Structure 1
Amino acid sequence: MGSGRAADSVRARYLVYFQYLGTDFNGVAAVRGTQRAVGVLNYLEEAAERLNSVLPVKFIISSRTDAGVHALCNAAHLDVQRRSGQPPFSPEILTHALNSHLKHPAIRVLQSFRVPSNFHARYAATSRTYLYRLATGCPGLAQLSVFERNRCWALRAERLQFWTLEFESQSFLYRQVRRMTAILVAVGLGALTPTQVKVILESRDPLGRHQTRVAPAHGLFLKSVLYRDLEDLAAQNPACTQQESPAPLGAFRPETSSAKAGGLESCLQ
């Protein structure tokens, strides 16, 4: 009987852009079973249950993020099957419905688009951009503004200054951005020499066996995910394509510096 209802229903696929502060989550992926940890998708899928789809709604994410990592804009596709005679939701209604039923204040759906039934949020992505935020000149975590805690990596230096490193590629290895950031910081602090970095690069070690330094998760933000065949959609979504790096949020008003890096090699030239 259930299969008959599914056959008669109308299925629509959507691309959904969403953002979150990752502090409270065990990453973006849903956590199954009896574990106390929870992922961002646990809340999104719970909200999607209220759409009354004939079949359960699953979010297929573009980019996985680890526990504590934030997203200014992540993306996922999902299918919603309404019962026979009911038209597909408009993207605007879908966005509003998901936000209305979300039960965590650190998650928000930014925008939705109707996409072809064969669209895949992960495999169709042509570019992903990450930001890593550093705060230098902070004697200790207690001296950092409460609004900045869990949103940047605080380092000791002469005066308080915020830096934003930006990394863009079609895809990244596991913890690649955090490892690259840790290398840059180590060179800046004098803990590594350019010669040692060259040895690490030439090792071609994707699992990081020769480079165990990893920057903390809470300084990392997924900034945007782009799709070549959907440039017209991206152009309509300034929340993802024109999102600036997060500005300092606390009472301090330091200068903000930025450095772009397509790879570690370009940073060291």
Structure 2
Amino acid sequence: MGPKRYLVLFQYRRTHYSGAVRTPADQPVFGVQNYLEQAAQNLKPLVPIKFCISSETDAGVHALCNSAHVDIQKEAGKPPFPGSILVSSLNHWLKSEEIQILSACQVPDDFHARFSALSRTYIYRLVVGCSYNSQIPVFERDLCWAPRGDHLNVPATQEAVQFPLGTHDFSAFHSICATMPPKSPIKTLIHVDLRPFSSFLSYHYIQRRLQFWELEFRSQSFLYKQVQRMVGALVAVGQGKLKPYHIKLLLEVRDSLAYPHNTIALAAGLFLKSVEYDDANLQAAGAAGE
């Protein structure tokens, strides 16, 4: 019997990880993948388990739900792992980490966590009313960004968020990274939205005159730091440093060097919210696997 392929959904808080993907063993800080694979070896597979991660989030970025596929080869005659057993076993070995397995199901052998994804959704959380990040409430630290200033022109920002929608050359919103291979800057932004964010502590925050906002972006894929650069430019519009039409101009100029200096948003407020697949196929595969 050959290996069985599983889709694994997992989440993590960025606290002390270098990012989502594996780092070499001699590095001082490991990636989430290092810990996932270390936990998976306790399943005693015939072949070491490797996680093929769909979305390679950077250091400082959280994930409400990331995904990966894994191939698990068991001894001849032994049945495949049910998804529920895989989840509970991995979570047992990950209990000391800020990583949690959400679900696992069998998928076809040709399923690929990255290339089978229909889209990815990111959210970015802002808090308005703090002069410095050190003034962010204790329970929100490392989970949002506090740009300087006590005001966000919401109508102007909502006007600006319409310009990136659709298919564009996002070169101006692409941070160049020498260690990453060049990618096409042409991306299609399916959805973008600005909305107030509330939590169980909202009343207390209102008393402190703090406002929380959430920006949401969905696309099949994103360029390196594209979301952080879009957020930074949109916040600059809300603060009056840029006009809404400047977002349109940045798209038209198609030059990373045209991006305003010191505008990029911090990583702390960025979350990978979800990776979307064809639900019907996954549900059928999961039912067959169980």
User: Shorter-chain TM-score: which interval?
Assistant: 0.7 to 0.9
How far apart are the structure 1 equivalents of 2:283 and 2:126? 32
SS of the counterpart of 1:72?
strand
1:1-269 equivalences in 2 (<5 Å)? 9-155=1-147, 156-157=149-150, 159-205=209-255, 208-211=256-259, 212=261, 213-228=263-278, 230=280, 233=283
2:11, 2:99 within 8 Å by CA — same for their partners in 1?
yes
SS of the counterpart of 1:184?
helix
How far apart are the structure 2 equivalents of 1:26 and 1:121? 21
How far apart are the structure 1 equivalents of 2:111 and 2:144? 34
Q: 1:71 to 1:154 in 2, by over 3 A?
A: same
Offset of residue 209 of structure 1: 2.6
SS of the counterpart of 1:23?
coil
How far apart are the structure 2 equivalents of 1:23 and 1:209? 31
Identity rate of aligned residues, in percent?
A: 52
1:10, 1:87 within 8 Å by CA — same for their partners in 2?
no
Offset of residue 103 of structure 1: 5.0
Offset of residue 144 of structure 1: 1.7
SS of the counterpart of 1:24?
coil
SS of the counterpart of 2:131?
coil
Offset of residue 142 of structure 1: 3.1
How far apart are the structure 2 equivalents of 1:142 and 1:198? 33
| Residue deviations 1:191-245 (CA, integer Å, cap 9, x gap) | 122343332110224xx332153211110000011112646539x9xxxxxxxxx
2:133, 2:145 within 8 Å by CA — same for their partners in 1?
no
How far apart are the structure 1 equivalents of 2:245 and 2:83? 52
SS of the counterpart of 2:79?
coil
SS of the counterpart of 1:28?
coil
| Residue deviations 1:78-135 (CA, integer Å, cap 9, x gap) | 0110011111111111111110111543100000010011110000000110000000
Partner of 1:266: none
Partner of 1:262: none
How far apart are the structure 2 equivalents of 1:215 and 1:114? 38
RMSD between aligned residues: 1.8
Unaligned 5+ segments in structure 2 are: 152-208
Q: Which moved more, 1:122-131 or 1:156-165?
A: 156-165
Unaligned 5+ segments in structure 1 are: 1-8, 237-269
1:57, 1:79 within 8 Å by CA — same for their partners in 2?
yes
How far apart are the structure 1 equivalents of 2:230 and 2:18? 22
SS of the counterpart of 1:35?
coil
How far apart are the structure 1 equivalents of 2:69 and 2:274? 15
